[in-house]
Structure 1
Amino acid sequence: MYRGFVFAQDSIADFIRSLEGVSKVALYSYSRDLSRVSGLTSDRSQALRGVRSTVAGDDAALYNSLLLTVKDAARLTGKKAIVVFSNGPDNASLVPPEDVAELAQSTGTIIYMISTQQAEDEPISTAVFERMSKVTGGKAYFSKSWRDEKQAFASIRDDLAHLYTLSYYPQPNPNRGWRTITVKLVGKNLQKYHLRTRDGYRFLQQTASTDNLPLPGPDPVSQ
């Protein structure tokens, strides 16, 4: 059990309050199973109530739950990001993290990871969290205290306020898999700026569109 979870709840709540007004937010929690606590909404109060209702669990099927979350996000158009707070390494998933990263890449979903020192102490978890976030254009943070958590959420909030979408028409390419791209700033006066971008994208065959399908609502709970 993560004894500092109440401080994490405060950081998550502050993060939700600080998001731009046009942003919509959904809140999911997970232990061995995923729970859709609050559906996608611009009403911050719904998500904030959900934050206070969550508890820290003993099991963490992180990759299972994250895959389901990415599938939900795939229904949406526009800029989308998943911010994950984990109080430790995954210890219950059947899904490999590579599957999560591949789907996130294919759907243009950015993944940010905030985890506690417990995960950072495990080299495998550290590498997985960093790789999964990097390949989707996000970043992994490892917090040693509640102050670190607040700083991590503040950094992510700033990132989300400065997201841009670049589009281009590629030349005919027989490669139907991963296509690497590099984005650079040209000009000496721009060298002071730092870009964090995806490393590429996966070719997607045009199929029937599922754009703008609604996300699943909150999971039912017993009264």
Structure 2
Amino acid sequence: MDIGALHFQNPEAFWLLLFVPLLIALYVYRQQRRKSTIKFPALALAKKAVPSRRVKFRHIVPALRLAALVCFVVALARPQNAMEVEYTSTDGVDIMLALDVSGSMSTLDMLTNAEQSKLGTMNAERFWKNGDFWKYSRLGYAQDVIAEFIGKRHSDRIGLSAFGARSFTQCPLTMDYGSLLEILKASDDLARDTLVNNRTAIGDGLMNALARLKMSDAKSRVVILLTDGRDNASVVPPVRAAEVAKSLGVKVYTVGVGKKNGKILAFQQNPWTGDISWGERDITPEEGIDEDVLKSIASKTGGRFYRAENKAELEKIYSEIDELEKTEIETIAYARYAEKFYPWLLVGALLILLELILANTRFVRIP
């Protein structure tokens, strides 16, 4: 039986409270039966007689006894404070994020029309020099979407590896998502260093991520590889890296970003003055993603290949991967009870003690 935050282990004890009104009725009946007479020499003197405080408060002693009885009944019902405890067991997913930070990731081809119009009104040279353009680049949008993806995971270990002309581990597998997000945010610093070297080592980037997952004992191990180009700098070919992933039981999702064709917003520099301004250029075939290789990697490892030409498509892709790679969570809930009958027992005992003191002192009855 529960009343508010209290749980009563022996609620049947409350049946004893039915005797309370009976005891009150019995007390009233006995008071009415009791008749005391005092002879006064004159009626006028009787009218002037004023009841003393002792007479006015004569019912306090039986009231204390009755209150003590109620306290003892509540204590007998064993009030308890229930505290719900949950034990959660999780089978987390170990996820390595392999992120392309090559110079081409600075391309501004995933803009919405509104964003492109906005950038066109800004000072191109200042925009280039202070690095604000990065948040509108392929890498900037990838950072935003990956950060949202990390924010949705709760019981997984996630790591980050980056690759351009070479590959390296940015963050090993961790559940410290705060630190991971800070490291992810700083990835554009790496891309700045690779602007003059527009080479991409997809195979080595995948191998680096696999090295972090090799010793993992997680039930599910995943690599999400994002790139905007084709492999032209790896020591280990991408297809060979995919075979290694398959042998390790690691699933690889490959994500290609960037427009397939058309004109894109770009910086252009005046060869005579060195001034930087806005312009447009065509996407060349050499800039295209090697979809066949990325599809092969995903197919060999049981993953999927995705293509995103704008931020909205990229968000949809990572949301789908988030749904595909769900963590198994088993929750067992139980209640822990703390006994709360002691205060009721103590109050009842104090009321009985007070009743005895008053009954033998202030309200002592003289036969």
TM-score by length of 1: 0.67
CA distance in 2, matches of 1:96, 1:119: 24
CA gap of 1:147–1:71, structure 2 versus 1, over 3 A, is: same
CA gap of 1:151–1:39, structure 2 versus 1, over 3 A, is: same
Gaps of 5+ in 2: 1-103, 108-136, 262-284, 329-367
Matches within 5 A, 1:50-61: 50-55=183-188, 56=191, 57=194, 58-61=198-201
Alignment: residue pair count: 162
CA gap of 1:162–1:44, structure 2 versus 1, over 3 A, is: closer
Question: Which AA in structure 2 matches 1:159?
Answer: L
The structure with the largest alpha-carbon Rg is: 2
- TM-superposed CA distance for 1:65, in Å, is 1.9
Report the aligned-residue RMSD.
Answer: 2.2
Name the structure with the higher strand share.
2
Question: After alignment, is 76-85 or 114-123 more displaced?
Answer: 114-123
Q: Which of 153, 159, 175 matches 2:318? A: 153
2:165 corresponds to: 32
Question: Which AA in structure 2 matches 1:142?
Answer: R
1:95 corresponds to 2:236: yes
Name the structure with the higher helix share.
2
Question: Which AA in structure 2 matches 1:148?
Answer: E
Q: Which has the higher contact order (CA 8 A, sep 6+)?
A: 2
Gaps of 5+ in 1: 164-223
Q: Which of 147, 150, 167 matches 1:16? A: 150
Q: Which of 256, 271, 276 matches 1:115? A: 256
- TM-superposed CA distance for 1:119, in Å, is 7.6
Show CA shifts across 1:116-147 (max 9, x none): 13689678821110111122111111111011
Secondary structure, aligned partner of 2:290: helix
CA distance in 1, matches of 2:299, 2:217: 21
1:135 corresponds to 2:269: no
2:214 corresponds to: 74
Secondary structure, aligned partner of 1:113: strand
1:42 corresponds to: 175
Question: Which AA in structure 2 matches 1:28?
Answer: S
Question: After alignment, is 22-31 or 51-60 more displaced?
Answer: 51-60
TM-score by length of 2: 0.41
Question: Which AA in structure 1 matches 2:247?
Answer: S
1:63 corresponds to: 203
Matches within 5 A, 1:163-182: none
CA distance in 2, matches of 1:151, 1:47: 22
Q: What is the percent sequence identity of the aligned residues?
A: 23
CA distance in 1, matches of 2:235, 2:167: 13
